Amino acid sequence: MPRKSASIGEEFLELRHRLAEWRKDHSRRTPLPDDVWKVAVELARRHGVYRTARSLPIDYGSLRKRLNVAVPPTTVARPEFVEVLMPPAQAAACIEVLRIPVTGAVDFHQLFRAWRNGGR
């Protein structure tokens, strides 16, 4: 079954035309201008790196690197505490919730040993 080709948007056609005109006047190994890369990165952000690189055509790896530099990675919020829920046990003492403030790296083996030894 033949695959459908997605239509190229007007913004892709405009940048493709600019690239074709620029490539007529420059040698093959000349780096693309920064304004072209900025538009290509914006298109890749909206439409994906593969589609942008394939439609223009420009180097996929270079576009991906520039997109990663333009968009810094998001940081994940670290939890302020660790909550351990334990089911009721047959023992006389039962701990239902243990809250531990986390300020840095936690050694859970050492923490568990301290809990088992009763803080001794």
Return the pLDDT at 9: 81
Domain map (residue ranges) of the chain: 10-70, 81-116
**36, 15 Cβ separation under 8 angstroms:** yes
Coil, strand or helix at 99: strand
Task: Examine the pLDDT at 115 and tell me if it is beyond 70.
Answer: yes
Q: What is the pLDDT of residues 32-71, one digit of tens each?
A: 889 999 999 999 988 889 999 998 889 999 999 988 876 6
DSSP code at position 100: E
End-to-end CA distance of the chain: give it in Å, rounded: 72
Return the pLDDT at 99: 63
Angstrom distance (rounded) from CA 107 to CA 82: 12
Angstrom distance (rounded) from CA 69 to CA 45: 12
Angstrom distance (rounded) from CA 112 to CA 86: 13
